Structure 1
Amino acid sequence: MKILLIGEYSRLHNSLKEGLIALGHEVILLSSGDHFKKFDTDYSFHSAFLSGYWLPLKIKNVFYKLTGVNLEKAERGLRFFLLLPQLKNFDHVQLINSDAIETFPFFSRILYKKVFKKIKNRSLLICGDETTVIDYLLKKESDYSILTPYFEDNSLKKHFEYPLKYTTKNYRKTFDWLVENCQNLIASDLDYKIPMEKMGYSVHFIPNPVNTRKIEFEEQKINDKIVIFMGINRSSYIKKGIVYFEKTLQIIQEKYAEKVAVIITENIPYNDYINLYNTAQIVLDQIYADDQGYNALEAMAKGKVVFTGAEKEFVQHYNLSEKVAINALPNVDYLVKELSFLIENPNEITAIGKRARAFVEKEHDYIKIANQYLETWNKAYIFI
């Protein structure tokens, strides 16, 4: 098969591409690189002009203040349009989400129609903020979610513009159009599978693919100090509950000044992020989640102990009897207790790290997952 993957926010599509290529398929990835993260891509529609030069950047910022229109969206859409002549003879196309091109919704629909005219077999991946997922979270039926800080303090609304945009008329129209014109809806973890099903949608659940052949496992040995790593993406700082980790680290650093070292980064490229957390034994990922996202899984594959989503739904789904990650809750006392236990029992860091690697190899192997995608895509052909 010749497969087109559009969009990248976490390295999910890159890992899927590697798995599909290993199985003998031809794969092309188009993305913006996701801003500062700079993920690999075959063809880029990154807004290089408006974000890469001083004068265009200033003009863009002034225009946004005056009109509320982000010209970078226009540039990304235009760059994607210019790539259309190269998108020939594909058997399947998959979008990372309904805003895969990261342009204006009406422009997205125009571009999707042009792509879909050439490619009849299509999938929409649900692996992050999405219209139906946000609709469900707004019902407040779960104990907590990425919208919890917004529910607790509506003055934070501007910090939630990205997830809430998916419920506006134009983004909803794009999502609904894609649901009608894609043969498959695929959810990458339980944080998206559960809301989609609660809202009445039928989705294929295919876990995140992780290329463990590229990720070297290293048994966590404590020599001098236990290193704790936290990488901050400022745009998702509040919705990931980073403030709880920050307060926890203040207490831990005072309590165990001689036993721990802390590394904190902010808004750095993906490759730099990976290199910096290689020295850590413990990684603080996110609070408001049931399941692990991509960054957490990569850290787990390296044998790190990761504080992330590991709720009862996750434990039950994978039938786990021992911890492969630490379930992170919005409770500083709880987080301090969990970290303190690990610091005082370093052998547990080693044990959890080994189980984490084994779990990722079993449930997230990139070739195994690529096969699941192929099976799902091929089922759709029967109905075309």
Structure 2
Amino acid sequence: MKILLVGEYSRLHNSLKEGLTALGHEVLLISSGDFFKDYPSDIKLKRKFDSGIQKKLKTLLYKFTGVNITSLSLKNQFFKHTERLTGFDIVQLINESSFAATPKYEKEFIDFLHLNNKKLFLLSCGTDYVSVAFGLSNKLEYSIFKGYLDNTVSKETYFSSLKYLAPAYKELHNYVYSKIEGVIATDMDYHLPLENHPKYLGLIPNPVNIDKIKTPKTQEPTHKIKIFLGINRSNYHTKGIVYFEEALEIIQKKYADKVEVVVVENLPYKEYITKFDKAHILLDQALAYDQGYNALEAMAKGKVVFTGASPQFEAFHNLKNQVAIHTRPDTQEIVANLELLIKNPEKITEISKNAINFIEKEHHYITIAQKYIDIYTT
């Protein structure tokens, strides 16, 4: 089949492309690289006017004319590639707003792709109308909107997520859903909001290209246990990073002779993955019920990851062994779990092995690619 993957988050579509290609399908990926992460694409649309004085000029222009020149630039770049974006059996969107452009232009992209290709599918693997509305509903113990709901973080901080509830984005949501065959969730955080939705096709776990992860698996702790925290300021609050920072402050004071802590911020993907290779423990997120791609890649390398590993996640995979540390927004609980590993380093080795086996069994990129093909052809 000819498959067009549109947009990129956390290397998901790159990994899926590798799996689909291994199965013999012809795949093209178009994206803008996911902001500073700069993931590769066959067709790369460059985001312009997003920093420095250009961003200030963009804001002024939008204020007086209503034109978002970043989105207009993305539109102009997109439509230069129309010949390469037609005739596909399957088109899959990474999000309702795959290029993070304004709804007006996203609709134009959808229109073109729907008219010039056969089937259109949507992923739910990041914030969108359904997941945001669900997260604000207080149906679960906590959500990425915890700081917003308990009034400890300003509403403005959540703009990039709350925007999906604005009329223009809700209209875009309805428009996209009117064009797609269905929507696929990539983990429990997006499965739970979509349960019983008429367009929901089910959960397919994120693909991880085991063959590309060539760095040595995590070594058993010998002297100091290395703990790694990578911060992305744009999702600082939605990942609950503050709980990790508070926990690390306590751990560093109490176990300075037993741990080595590395904290990095806003690194491009290629640089980021080299930074955590020597870590034994990776602190990922404290407001999730399942793992995103960052956690999965770390688990594939044998890291003990503090992330979403909820009872719902364990039940879905019928897990008998611990593969990650389920992490809730509770500083003292995080401290206690870190202490358990520091005092019992053999647990690090045990969970590391479980994590590697889990990724190979449940997230292998070729196995996952076949699951997509099964849904596409049903």
**TM-score of the superposition, structure 2-length normalised?**
0.95
- SS of the counterpart of 2:262? strand
Amino acid at match of 1:13: H
- 1:34 equivalent in structure 2: 34
- SS of the counterpart of 1:186? strand
> What is the distance in 2 between the residues matched to 1:315 and 1:100?
30
Whether contact under 8 Å (1:207, 1:364) holds in the other structure is yes
Amino acid at match of 1:349: I
> What is the distance in 1 between the residues matched to 2:248 and 2:67?
39
Amino acid at match of 2:375: T
Whether contact under 8 Å (2:181, 2:199) holds in the other structure is no
Whether contact under 8 Å (2:227, 2:279) holds in the other structure is yes
Tell me the CA shift for residue 132 of structure 1: 0.9
Show structure 1 runs of 4+ deviating over 6 A.
65-69
Whether contact under 8 Å (1:132, 1:199) holds in the other structure is no
- SS of the counterpart of 2:249? helix
- 1:378 equivalent in structure 2: 377
- 1:382 equivalent in structure 2: none
- 2:263 equivalent in structure 1: 264
Deviates most, 260-269 or 76-85: 76-85
How do residues 70-85 of structure 1 correspond to structure 2 at under 5 angstroms? 70-85=68-83
Whether contact under 8 Å (1:292, 1:308) holds in the other structure is yes
Amino acid at match of 1:273: Y
Deviates most, 128-137 or 299-308: 128-137
Whether contact under 8 Å (2:208, 2:296) holds in the other structure is yes
Tell me the CA shift for residue 62 of structure 1: 4.5
- 1:336 equivalent in structure 2: 335
Amino acid at match of 1:12: L
- 1:162 equivalent in structure 2: 160
Amino acid at match of 1:321: K
How do residues 65-144 of structure 1 correspond to structure 2 at under 5 angstroms? 70-144=68-142
Tell me the CA shift for residue 58 of structure 1: 4.5
Deviations 1:49-68 (A, max 9, x none): x247x653452355467778
Whether contact under 8 Å (2:86, 2:113) holds in the other structure is no
- SS of the counterpart of 1:271? helix
- Give the counterpart of 2:213 among 215, 232, 238: 215
Tell me the CA shift for residue 240 of structure 1: 0.7
> What is the distance in 1 between the residues matched to 2:118 and 2:53?
42
Deviations 1:58-92 (A, max 9, x none): 52355467778653222222222222232132111
> What is the distance in 2 between the residues matched to 1:155 and 1:214?
39
How do residues 1-384 of structure 1 correspond to structure 2 at under 5 angstroms? 1-48=1-48, 50-51=49-50, 56-63=54-61, 70-153=68-151, 156-197=154-195, 201-216=199-214, 218-379=217-378
> What is the distance in 2 between the residues matched to 1:134 and 1:317?
22
Tell me the CA shift for residue 33 of structure 1: 0.5
Deviations 1:87-132 (A, max 9, x none): 1321110000100022110111112101111112110011110101
- SS of the counterpart of 1:146? coil
Whether contact under 8 Å (2:218, 2:279) holds in the other structure is no
- SS of the counterpart of 2:30? strand
Whether contact under 8 Å (1:150, 1:160) holds in the other structure is yes
Task: Please provide the CA RMSD for this pair.
Answer: 1.7
Tell me the CA shift for residue 47 of structure 1: 1.5
Distance change in 2, residues 1:292/1:59 (3 Å): same
Deviates most, 83-92 or 11-20: 83-92
Deviations 1:149-193 (A, max 9, x none): 100117510111111111111111111111121112101011101
Tell me the CA shift for residue 136 of structure 1: 1.3
- SS of the counterpart of 2:106? helix
> What is the distance in 1 between the residues matched to 2:148 and 2:260?
32
Whether contact under 8 Å (2:103, 2:168) holds in the other structure is yes
Deviates most, 293-302 or 132-141: 132-141
Whether contact under 8 Å (1:38, 1:269) holds in the other structure is yes
Tell me the CA shift for residue 142 of structure 1: 0.5
- SS of the counterpart of 1:265? strand
- SS of the counterpart of 1:274? helix
Tell me the CA shift for residue 343 of structure 1: 0.9
Distance change in 2, residues 1:262/1:200 (3 Å): same
Extract unaligned runs of 5+ from structure 2.
none
Tell me the CA shift for residue 202 of structure 1: 2.7
Whether contact under 8 Å (1:301, 1:361) holds in the other structure is yes
Amino acid at match of 2:369: A
Whether contact under 8 Å (1:245, 1:332) holds in the other structure is yes
Tell me the CA shift for residue 221 of structure 1: 1.4
> What is the distance in 2 between the residues matched to 1:163 and 1:261?
34
Tell me the CA shift for residue 242 of structure 1: 0.3
> What is the distance in 2 between the residues matched to 1:111 and 1:212?
33
Tell me the CA shift for residue 326 of structure 1: 0.1
Deviations 1:197-251 (A, max 9, x none): 1666533211100011111451431122111111111010011100000000000
Deviates most, 132-141 or 296-305: 132-141
> What is the distance in 2 between the residues matched to 1:23 and 1:44?
24
Amino acid at match of 2:29: L
Tell me the CA shift for residue 336 of structure 1: 0.5
> What is the distance in 1 between the residues matched to 2:257 and 2:292?
32
**TM-score of the superposition, structure 1-length normalised?**
0.94
> What is the distance in 1 between the residues matched to 2:196 and 2:113?
30
